[in-house]
Amino acid sequence: MIDPVGEASRESFPASDSPAWAMGREAESAIIEVSDNQAENRFEAHVGGKTAFLMYRRMPGRLVLVHTEVPTGLEGHGIGSKMVRAGIEFAREQGLTVVPVCPFVINYIRRHQEYVDLVHPDYQARVTQEA
C-alpha cells in the first residue's frame, strides 16, 4: 500500500502541480508484480483480469527478448517498461547477456543507457543509435 502523504514528500514537482495521488491517479505500475512464467517462456504481469507479457528465449549465455504485448486499455501505465526491466534484471542476476529483438525493448534500453553493458556486443549498435 502506498502512503500518499509519504509518497508526495519524496516527489519533486512545481508548486502549481499536484502529486499524482491528489489527482486520483496513483502510479498503477508501482503495484504491478512481474513473474517469470518459465513454462511459457515469458515474463507476465496480471492486471484487472488481463495478462501483459514479454516473450523470451533462453540461449547459452543469452536472454533473447522477443516480443512485448500489453492489452488494449493498459498501455501507457508503465507495465511494458516494468516487464522489460524485470527481464533485464533477470539476465543480470543469471549472468546472461541480453539480445534485444523487440522494438519496445530496444527503445527502452535506448532510454535507459545504464543497461547497455548487459546487451550482447553483437547487438549494442541497436541500442546506442538513434532510431
DSSP 8-state secondary structure symbol assigned to residue 21:
G
Higher pLDDT, 78 or 28: 78
Residue corresponding to grid cell 532510431: 131
Residue 130 — pLDDT band, cuts 50, 70, 90?
low
Structural domains of the chain in order of their starting residue, each with its CATH number: 1-31 (no CATH), 32-128 (3.40.630.30)
39-63 confidence digits (pLDDT tens): 999 999 998 889 999 999 999 999 9
Average pLDDT, the chain: 82
Residue 7 — pLDDT band, cuts 50, 70, 90?
very low
Environment class of 51 (CB within 10 Å of its CB; exposed 0-12, middle 13-18, buried 19+): middle
For the sheet with 42-47, list strands across it: 34-37, 42-47, 50-59, 62-69, 97-100
pLDDT surpasses 70 at 3: no
E strand spans, the chain: 34-37, 42-47, 50-59, 62-69, 97-100
- At 131 the pLDDT is 54
Mean pLDDT, range 83-103, rounded to an integer:
96
Distance CA 105, CA 124 (A): 12
Residue 117 — pLDDT band, cuts 50, 70, 90?
very high
Its pTM stands at 0.75
CA 46 to chain centre: 14
Residue corresponding to grid cell 495478462: 51
